[in-house]
Structure 1
Amino acid sequence: MGHLIPFLELANRLVLHHNLQATLFVVGTGSSSAEFALLQKPSPVNIIPLPHASSSLDSNAPIFNIISSMMTASFPFLRSSIAAANPRPVALIVDLFGTPALSIAHELGMLGFVFMTTSAWFLSLSFFYPSFDKSMVDAHVDNHDPLVIPGCTPVRFENTIEVFELNQKEVYVGFGSFASELGTADGILSNTWQDLEPTTLKALSEAGTLGKGKVNEVPIFPIGPLTSNGDPTLESEVLKWLDRQPDESVIYVSFGSGGTLREEQITELAWGLEMSQQRFVWVIRPPAGTESMGTFFTAGRGSSGDDWASEFLPEGFIKRTKEVGLVIPMWGPQAEILSHRSVRGFVTHCGWNSSLESIVNGVAMVTWPLYAEQKMNAAVLTEEVGVAVRVRAEGDGLVKRKEIENKVRMIMEGKEGGGIRERVKGLKISGEKAVTKGGSSYNSLARVASECDIFRRRRDGGCYSLP
């Protein structure tokens, strides 16, 4: 969902704001009813599901490897669909896992763009990765030395991406092969905006003087924030419950479409919320194994009904908190919850999509990263942007109840939280301006549309040659 939502929003904006036609190819996991519902909504975009062979990898293999395998398996169907299209498409826009398909775009006489649905900081890591010395990467993985990115904040190992944490060379070598394909793109779109990450975007815009090779000649287009606007007509029990709460009195707790906690951590979280004495909405999932992690390919499956949640909560928790809290099994309407007047804070896994949804609704965050690049995102939100506080685990890997209580109270009522809340509300306004006609991100996407139009006229006029 973290990739699907911004891609669908991008396609909608290209159609509605920039007078283009758009087709969205979806390689779905089939794991989420929310994913299915999103794709069934009326849209000006033509949506085509792409078949793919099930990954032959073990379900416990690194998520990066599984997704890469599925994407690669879908490429023949993607190629045949594009080749059969009439009129010929002008451009193909892929995500990081789809960068090998850029060669398909160029082979078929199209522009090839990459849409990074992540922070600009993670984009900078990917962008410069092919030019990193092997010794620097090895020192980061083996000795936990900071990873130095030209012009950007170095990545401390405590904030590194899952690819490096795993310390499996074949995994980060695989990541490098995808990152190297960025250099073959005609442009890179980034789901961020100028005011959110100015230093990193400046480094990326000046990349031609900081490195070697074609990767540093690729233009960067900040086009965010692209997030779900939610459905103002949606009716649900959680929204009715929120309607009965005072303004800015509720903290929302969710770890995304794939985030799960181990059973002991669920217990600590429950006690932390209860001890904080704050109103809350908590989207809860069954625990998975012994570690807090991502379960993309099982999220939304398994337990049915509402009764199972109490099995993993402290005895009497639901009864004791029934006046101030609401526990939702599996899934909640996040965009609608975050935009509700009664919500002030968000305990989040720091998926970039969730982070942006929080910012565009002026909701301060408690960051609790679990996997992928979420630790980088948490560092951006807390250390660079200042719209969040971060929970810290103890030596056994657990975030203890007192830590949870303190951080929730800080965001909801503390003096330090007041400054954070003011900053996030300022960025909400900034984000709105960026994507409004005449704003920096609107103009950036307009330049992409213009390049597509110029390319189409040259190509159809016989003036185009393949790179």
Structure 2
Amino acid sequence: MDSSKLHVAILSSPGMGHLIPVLVLGNRLATHHNIKITILAITTSSSLTETQFLKKSHEKETIEIIPIPSVDISHLIDSSTKLFTRFRILVREALPEIRSVIASMTHRPNALIVDIFCTQILPIAEEFNIPKYAYHPTTSWTLALFIYCQVFDKEIEGEYVDLKEPLKIPGCKALRPEDVVDPMLDRRNQQYEEYVKLGVEYTHFDGVLINTWEDLEPETIKALRNNDKLRSVLKVPDYPIYPIGPLRRTVEIAERDEVIQWLDKQNLESVVFVSFGSGGTLSSQQMTELAWGLELSQQKFVWVVRPPSDGDADSAYLNSGGNDTRTALEYLPEGFITRTKDMGLVVPMWAKQVEILSHSSVGGFLSHCGWNSTIESLTNGVPMIAWPLHAEQRMNATMLAEELGVAIRPAVLPTKKVVWREEIQGMMRILMQTKEGKCIREKAKKLKMSAKNALSEGGSSYNSICGLVKNICTR
């Protein structure tokens, strides 16, 4: 079949962190491989940013977006229900609507690609006999853990965090107990059960796309393809692995807002961008310490500030962007904005992250290590201060600091204890002023080139996407 006649539907779970990689993937397949793309986006009614983003994306003619209305799940959850579980329930409740949308399509998709929380689509894909692929929009290391967790679940007793030895994923870097993903922190919680189920569902797909590239994670990708013990959990023979990254948003040439204009006036690679993603929040105490650390460091900074939360670190995820931009700055130490007015810029709630990270005056990124943000940093050659908050971010931070050498991190995980101002000041100075920081920056720039090569025609990720398209065409 000619790829120009292909129709691929991509299903996105709620939240900006999931919607962005799906839209980027859709745009890539549409513009580089001439495929008709329909995105089914499960929406939430609470996120203004998400609504605006969908509306803007609708204006692009390369893809069709069908919003799947938000389902009221208030009767199925309570205040203690973890975010991972909420996502799974939201998707589960949206399945009847997703099924009816697919059933009503005049040109039935030749393939269905689903993101990380939408793997519960399996019965629908099988009912309509549509080839199905999972899209894992983060690292191959987290994918290996996802699919192998079903083995750990049977073989390991007690809590993973209490283990004295690292978890051994066949063919991959071992995983320290303190770095396990959030759903593995408490095996009695519903999110753990949902996590294990999701890993099992992954193994029933016709292949998996990963937002990484060969040179970034060679050993793990090799293990996913060739390690008999790791592949023994896969239910599909010859289960293909497609590293197709690093896919990220492109810089939009638009009006130069206040932040970009401020950056224009700064020296080359002199500014640290500080942001915790579309849903990450800090405690009140940690926010105060971070403010003091930035001020004491005397380094230039742009800080995206949102109100603190003394609950879960992911509490803002489904309400990113919010409606309240007034209160964010009120939580900063008294006089902070006045004292740092010549040194830094504080931006309430949201900023153009891709444009900021691609600006020549940005030389560092203090980040929560969400994979979208990490990719946006690496593809611009910007080194990082790793500050993981939730989900798989501890694994990402470990990989960035220990394997790739493009980040420094606090001595103790920020999820375990407060990172004090003195340590923050020290990390800022190490990254921006020392030989160690220079070495980290050079490694980040090499990865930028590696990423560019992977996506160029004939590069590993370009060839991987071609392989996926060929696989769909021949089914």
Aligned match of 1:45? 63
Is residue 214 from structure 1 mapped to residue 234 from structure 2 by the alignment? yes
Q: Which amino acid aligns with 1:318?
A: I
SS at match of 2:33: coil
> Structure 2 vs 1, CA of residues 294 and 413 (structure 1 numbering), >3 Å: closer, same or farther?
farther
CA distance 1:310–1:83, shift in 2 (3 Å) = closer
Query: Is residue 294–residue 370 contact of structure 1 (8 Å, CA) maintained in 2?
Result: no
Counterpart position of 2:257: 236
Give the corresponding residue for 2:137: 117
Amino acid in structure 2 at the alignment position of 1:315: E
1:402-450: CA deviation from partner (whole Å, max 9, x where unpaired): 1111111111121111111001101101111111111100110111111
Asked if 1:270 is matched to 2:291, the reply is yes
Aligned equivalents of 2:69 and 2:227: distance in 1? 37
User: 2-side partners of 1:312 and 1:166: how far apart?
Assistant: 32
Check conservation: 2:85, 2:190, Cα contact below 8 A.
Answer: no
Q: Among all aligned residue pairs of Structure 1 and Structure 2, give the percentage whose two residues are the same amino acid.
A: 45
Contact 2:281–2:314 (CA under 8 A) maintained in structure 1: yes
Q: Return the letter of the residue paired with 2:275.
A: S
1:320 Cα offset (Å): 0.7
Contact 1:137 1:147 in 2 (8 A): no
Matches within 5 A, 1:408-419: 408-419=428-439
What are the residue-to-residue correspondences of 1:300-319 with 2, within 5 Å?
300-305=321-326, 308-319=327-338
Q: Higher mean Cα deviation, 386-395 or 319-328?
A: 386-395
The corresponding residue for 1:152 is 172
Q: Could you tell me how far apart the structure 2 residues matched to 1:19 and 1:128 are?
A: 35
Which of 279, 285, 289 aligns to 2:306? It is 285
Checking the alignment, whether the CA contact within 8 Å between 1:163 and 1:171 is kept in structure 2 is yes
Q: Secondary structure at the match of 1:97?
A: coil
Structure 2 match to 1:448 = 468
Contact 1:26 1:47 in 2 (8 A): yes
Say whether the 8 Å CA contact 2:115–2:134 is kept in structure 1.
Answer: yes
Unaligned runs of 5+ in 2: 1-15
Q: Which one-letter code corresponds to 2:30 in the other structure?
A: V
Offset at residue 141 of structure 1 (A)? 4.2
Provide the residue aligned with 2:3 in structure 1: none
Name the CA shift for 1:342/1:415 in 2 (closer, same or farther; >3 Å).
same
CA change 1:448–1:154 in 2 (3 A) is same
Contact 2:160/2:185 (<8 A) preserved? no
Partner of 1:246: 267
Q: Distance in 2 between matches of 1:137 and 1:46?
A: 47
Higher mean C-alpha deviation, range 187-196 or range 167-176: 167-176
Equivalences for residues 24-423 of structure 1 within 5 A: 24-39=39-54, 40-41=56-57, 42-43=59-60, 44-55=62-73, 56-132=76-152, 134-136=154-156, 138=158, 140-143=160-163, 145-208=165-228, 210-215=230-235, 217=237, 218-289=239-310, 292-305=313-326, 308-393=327-412, 397-423=417-443
Tell me by how many angstroms 1:334 deviates: 0.4
Cα 1:4/1:298, change in 2 over 3 Å:
closer
Q: Aligned partners of 1:357, 1:418: CA distance in 2, in Å?
A: 20
* Distance (whole Å) between structure 2 residues aligned to residue 356 and residue 405 of structure 1: 25
Task: Kindly indicate whether the alpha-carbon contact (under 8 Å) linking 1:193 and 1:222 is maintained by their aligned counterparts in 2.
Answer: yes
Deviations 1:13-63 (A, max 9, x none): 111111211101111234433323332133211001112322231244111
Change over 3 Å in CA distance of 1:91–1:216 after alignment to 2: closer
Q: Could you tell me how far 1:299 is from its partner in structure 2? A: 2.9
The one of 447, 451, 462 aligned to 1:431:
451
Counterpart code for 1:264: Q
CA contact (8 A) 2:206 2:236 kept: no
**What is the Cα deviation at residue 133 of structure 1?**
5.1
Question: What is the Cα-based RMSD across aligned positions, in Å?
Answer: 1.8
Contact 1:92–1:102 (8 Å) recurs in 2: no
Q: Distance in 1 between matches of 2:102 and 2:319?
A: 31
Structure 1 pair 211–193 and aligned structure 2 pair: CA distance change class (3 A) = closer
Q: TM-score, normalised by structure 1?
A: 0.93
Per the TM alignment, residue 234 of structure 1 is displaced from its structure 2 partner at its CA by 3.8
Letter in 2 for 1:8: L
The two structures have a TM-score, normalised by structure 2, of 0.91
Report how many aligned residue pairs link the two structures.
453
